[in-house]
Structure 1
Amino acid sequence: MKIKFPLYVLAITTCIACNNSNTAEDTGSNATSRVSENKAKDFDWLLGNWQRTNDEQGKQTFETWARLNDSTYKSHGYTLVKKDTVWQEHVLLVKNNTDWYFKVSVQNESSSTDFKLTQKTDTSFQCENPLNDFPKTIGYNKSGEDLNAVISDGNTTIPYHFKKIK
């Protein structure tokens, strides 16, 4: 009897451990599936024409977002001083396999600077590129009718507040 009881306890413990292990794996794989199944429509809150409300005096900054397909968004941002364009950038928010990338191309540069999406909710996301000088992080969130963006390198943070242009 002394031998059977420890074997019985060992068998039960093993079964419980196996069930817990499978549950953890299922939870992990389901979470991964949910992330990889995200389509561009999950970023529809970006769509439209936006004007920055916290610009420097004499400047007007705009962003326009459009969805090209289920794995690509496109943005064009620019700043005007009077009627002259003094800055502009193009952004692609692109899904590459299971990861999303925020690819920024500024005027006079032939290649993009890529930021990997590291956090996402229904109305926000954050991207990172720790090798870039500035910024290292880019974040967007929608709050009511406002669109907010923040760029930062950990020391300097620049906020952008936008209102939708109707």
Structure 2
Amino acid sequence: MKSILKISFVLLTAFSLTMCNTKQNDQKSTTQPTKNFDWLLGNWKSTNEEKGKETFENWKKINDAEYKGIGFTLQNNDTLSQEQMKLIQTNGKWNLLVKTPDEKDFIKFEMTEIADDKFECKNDTLDFPKLIKYWKNGDKMNAIVSGDSLKLSFEFERIK
């Protein structure tokens, strides 16, 4: 049961198509403000999902300091997993917040790197995921959700 919950959380978090980017060296990285995450906006469908499943993410802009997203996976029109996501800027720093129906509160991922078309977030206190990364790839979007021994990759295309 724990494994199923972890996998569900992983899938949901990956769809958070979280927005962070960590430097790959020993130096402490700094977060720099970005103008916006408007490249995330809209409805997205995963193109590399397991056969029989469909994964979606939908993002909208609330204001210049907040974006909201929802991610979910369907199988035979039944919802297998779901998560709420928020990108929030507070005191000049961006964070990704993720919540599944099983959690009471949002889990915070600190944004460790930001660019115009990518971001990376971390939370080292978790077993999985520790890292959530999103980036724009032409007219598509990619995401990676990873922990110590597991790494999930997602490829999304915009849908209407």
Q: Calculate the TM-score normalised by the size of structure 2.
A: 0.78
What are the superposed Cα offsets for residues 8-55 of structure 1, whole Å, 9 maximum, x if unpaired? xxxxxxxxxxxxxxxxxxxxxxxx8x934x34xx20000000000111
Q: Deviations over 1:50-80 (max 9, x none)?
A: 0001111100000000000110000000011
**Are 1:35 and 2:19 an aligned pair?**
no
Q: For 1:153 and 1:108, locate their aligned partners in 2 and report how far apart those are by CA, in whole Å.
A: 20
The alignment yields a C-alpha RMSD, in angstroms, of 1.5
Alignment of 1:11-160 (within 5 A): 35-36=32-33, 38-39=34-35, 42-160=36-154
Code of the residue aligned with 1:80 in structure 2: it is L
Q: Which protein is bigger by CA-based radius of gyration?
A: 1
How many residue pairs get aligned? The number is: 131
Q: Could you tell me which amino acid in structure 1 is paired with residue 136 of structure 2?
A: K
What is the CA distance between 1:98 and its match in structure 2?
A: 1.5
Partner of 1:13: none
Q: CA deviation at 1:129?
A: 0.5
- Partner of residue 4, structure 1: none
Look up the equivalent residue of 1:35 and give its one-letter code. Q
Greater RCO between the two (CA within 8 Å, min separation 6)?
2
**Secondary structure, in 3 states, of the residue corresponding to 1:45?**
helix
Shift of 1:155: 2.5
Q: Where do 5+ consecutive residues of structure 2 fail to align? A: 1-29
- Structure 1, unmatched stretches of 5+, are 1-31
Q: Which runs of 4+ in 1 moved over 6 A?
A: none
Q: What SS does the aligned partner of 1:35 have?
A: coil
1:73-130: per-residue Cα shift (whole Å, max 9, x none)? 0000001111111100000000111211100001221111110000111100000001
Whole-angstrom CA distance in 1 between matches of 2:63 and 2:32: 18
Q: Distance in 2 between matches of 1:153 and 1:93?
A: 21
Greater helix share, structure number: 1
